[in-house]
Structure 1
Amino acid sequence: MSKALKKNIMFQYLMLLVVAATAGHQGWRTLFNNFAVDEVGINGFQVGVIQSVREIPGFLALLVVYLLLFIKEHRLSALSVLFVGMGVALTGLFPSFLGLIITTLIMSVGFHYFETTNKSLTLQYFSIEQAPVVFAKQRSWSAIANISMGAFVFGIAHFINLKFSFILIGVLVFCIGIWAFFWEPTDKNIPVQNKGMVLRKKYWLFYVLNFLSGARRQIFVVFAVFMLVQKYQFSVQNIATLFVINNIIAYFISPLIAKGINQFGERKMLSMEYFSLIFVFLGYAFFENAYLIAGLYIIDHIFFGFSMGINTYFHKTGDTKDIAPSMAVGFTINHISAVVIPVIGGMLWMINPQIPFVAGAFISIVSLIFVQFIKIERKVNYAK
């Protein structure tokens, strides 16, 4: 299977863009909290506002289905990566609360629209057995990009300031986006996707799981790292090191997750994720040791990879021509909670930092209940 994938032009195309988008986003994530706290001086509520703004493009991912009326999906992917680079490069030039909001929005438009089109193209171009493997390889190569970016940030932190770090990373990603825009990796034999919005009753569980996944993800992304920086005074080098450890583990474990999905199915793998996260979030809330919290963050990141099971579940049960619009709808639903939770969580954080993490444990329990409704009744081969 690996040899066949490597010869697939779409595989090569998506892998390049995945690495570029991941590197840009990881560079932004690694630098953001220290830049925001040390140079801009924002508080917990303000970081919640910025992170909510970051999720607005995800909430508007539904617009992808209308953009596809005017631009080919693979070109929209490349254009999205270009926006990631632009947003990252501009971040260091506007060291203010408003500046962070605007540049975060630009970066996020690119990142979220790429995520939507990448999932769609992967499910369209690869079979039921191949898709989990492709998602796993993307995550493994994303891990390599993240490790490289973490090492890069760690290495340059003593030589250039955060402003020029943002510019350097952003310009590189921007250039890759331009180059990929003129590449032609498409296959004319792939079924034409339905145009416009597709919202079907039979996909209700896919929608619910996306909603709950978005809520869980935001607590992890927004408040776990912020707690390490604000409460435990982790430096940019500490955060970069933590990301490197996360991604070394992700590189090796992602193929195992794909094998688990193919062997045991989505219901068992997602059940394992949500059951474990109940205790991870409670640990965030009640542990008072920085090293334990960092360890929980690593465990959390491992289980984050299991979420590919939501998309492979749709791949096995949905209609072929609904893939592109359904990925956009699912991504939008995923971000309904993501837009609200950082702001509400930020306000609750100001009352008691434990509250957002207790809420995360509750969301994990609800997710575990809904995962039990997963039933794979039929298999359809969507790609050659």
Structure 2
Amino acid sequence: MAAGSAVGYVVWEKLHTNFAVERANFDGLDIGSLHSIREIPGFLAFTAVFLVAVFREQRLAVFFLALIGLGTALTGFFPTYIGIAITMSIMSVGFHYYETYAQSLQLQWFPKDRAPVLLGWVVTVYSLATIVAIGGSWLLFQFFSFDYWLVFLVGGGVCVAAAVVGWGFGNLPDSGAKQRTGIVLRGRYWLYYALTFFAGARRQIFVVFAPFLLVDRFGLNIKDMLLLILLNEVLNMVLAPLVGRFIKRFGEGRTLIIEYIGLVPIFIFYGIVTTPWVALLLFILDHLFFKL
């Protein structure tokens, strides 16, 4: 299911900017408003706790995983603002609710003594599936001349297939863990809430407007865009151990300070850059800071 969710979401995320600009003639206002709509399900994801009181969590996770695939699969058939907004909303509801339930189930089912290792394997599988999805999409465009709708359909189909497999396992026995079906907020965690808020705002710059800059202003086609994203993912895998050692030595606080200070010039140059290779370099640096 982790691999399926990665394929379904990554195919949508990495293709939709080029698709929106090339096929639906999106401008900056269109792409910005579209992603504002996309975040509404994320804002409402707290309601996931109420559904658990009625339905089994495992079934909910599988259902919303299928929604990710459905939204992705349908995207290429509707190259209009309304069409993309609707299919994106389907995908977004699936993604935000699936992630909520998947994280909860992992913490419930993984034994405490093995949880770090097993969670690490989940991240590894997700990362490998991400690279396969990006590389596979590039191959389909480069060597098989697939159109957008077909690549979206393949990516969404893989995600739906993963949901079918998950559904086929049936209901696993209860973990015995006592769960709360309410919202918990703690005043002492205000700093974490604030950092999460700013991280969400920063994420929109990287995920939404940086790719749009490359596609709209500098005309980066889908094949080159996928290669750039693939390079970013490989660099992240190579540098991740170094980042981990850096955090261990200097601490999370200093690492966050370096990250946010480093982002200031990157975002400033995003606004004034006129040279393609500089924009590409900024995108790569932004991605590296994004993974800190």
**Does the alignment reach a TM-score above 0.5?**
yes
Structure 2 unaligned runs (5+)? none
Query: 1:93 and 2:77 equivalent?
Result: yes
CA separation of 1:30/1:244 partners in 2, compared to 1, >3 Å: closer, same or farther?
same
Tell me the residue number matched to 1:21: 5
- State how 1:168-247 maps to structure 2 within 5 Å: 168-183=154-169, 188-189=175-176, 191-247=177-233
Tell me the residue number matched to 2:59: 75
CA separation of 1:54/1:128 partners in 2, compared to 1, >3 Å: closer, same or farther?
farther
Q: CA RMSD in A?
A: 2.5
Query: 1:144 and 2:131 equivalent?
Result: no
Three-state SS of the structure 2 residue aligned to 1:196 is coil
CA separation of 1:209/1:253 partners in 2, compared to 1, >3 Å: closer, same or farther?
same
Structure 2 CA distance for aligned equivalents of residues 67 and 239 of structure 1:
39
Structure 2 CA distance for aligned equivalents of residues 302 and 185 of structure 1:
39
What is the percentage of aligned positions where both structures have the same residue?
Answer: 34
- Equivalent pairs, count: 288
Structure 1 CA distance for aligned equivalents of residues 31 and 249 of structure 2:
41
Shift of 1:299: 2.1
Structure 1 CA distance for aligned equivalents of residues 56 and 252 of structure 2:
31
Three-state SS of the structure 1 residue aligned to 2:291 is helix
Shift of 1:137: 4.9
1:139 touches 1:251 (CA, 8 Å); kept in 2? no
CA separation of 1:278/1:135 partners in 2, compared to 1, >3 Å: closer, same or farther?
farther
- State how 1:287-298 maps to structure 2 within 5 Å: 287-298=273-284
1:144 touches 1:251 (CA, 8 Å); kept in 2? no
Structure 2 CA distance for aligned equivalents of residues 300 and 135 of structure 1:
26
1:146 touches 1:243 (CA, 8 Å); kept in 2? no
| TM-score w.r.t. length of structure 1 | 0.68
Shift of 1:230: 0.2
- State how 1:304-319 maps to structure 2 within 5 Å: 304-306=290-292
| TM-score w.r.t. length of structure 2 | 0.88
Structure 1 unaligned runs (5+)? 1-16, 307-384
Query: 1:277 and 2:263 equivalent?
Result: yes
CA separation of 1:290/1:87 partners in 2, compared to 1, >3 Å: closer, same or farther?
same
Shift of 1:283: 2.8
Structure 2 CA distance for aligned equivalents of residues 110 and 81 of structure 1:
6
2:107 touches 2:115 (CA, 8 Å); kept in 1? no
**Could you report, residue by residue, the CA deviation over 1:1-55 in whole angstroms, capped at 9, with x for unpaired residues?**
xxxxxxxxxxxxxxxx232212111111222122211211122111111111111
**Could you report, residue by residue, the CA deviation over 1:113-168 in whole angstroms, capped at 9, with x for unpaired residues?**
2222334444554759964x666654443332222122222222242211122112
Structure 2 CA distance for aligned equivalents of residues 262 and 71 of structure 1:
41
Structure 2 CA distance for aligned equivalents of residues 242 and 93 of structure 1:
26
- State how 1:58-137 maps to structure 2 within 5 Å: 58-123=42-107, 125=110, 131=116, 137=121
1:137 touches 1:255 (CA, 8 Å); kept in 2? no
CA separation of 1:172/1:129 partners in 2, compared to 1, >3 Å: closer, same or farther?
closer
**Could you report, residue by residue, the CA deviation over 1:41-82 in whole angstroms, capped at 9, with x for unpaired residues?**
122111111111111111111111111212333333222221
**Could you report, residue by residue, the CA deviation over 1:311-352 in whole angstroms, capped at 9, with x for unpaired residues?**
xxxxxxxxxxxxxxxxxxxxxxxxxxxxxxxxxxxxxxxxxx
Three-state SS of the structure 2 residue aligned to 1:192 is coil
CA separation of 1:21/1:155 partners in 2, compared to 1, >3 Å: closer, same or farther?
same
1:85 touches 1:173 (CA, 8 Å); kept in 2? yes
Structure 1 CA distance for aligned equivalents of residues 261 and 147 of structure 2:
42
Tell me the residue number matched to 1:39: 23
| One-letter amino acid of the counterpart of residue 183, structure 2 | M
Three-state SS of the structure 2 residue aligned to 1:180 is helix
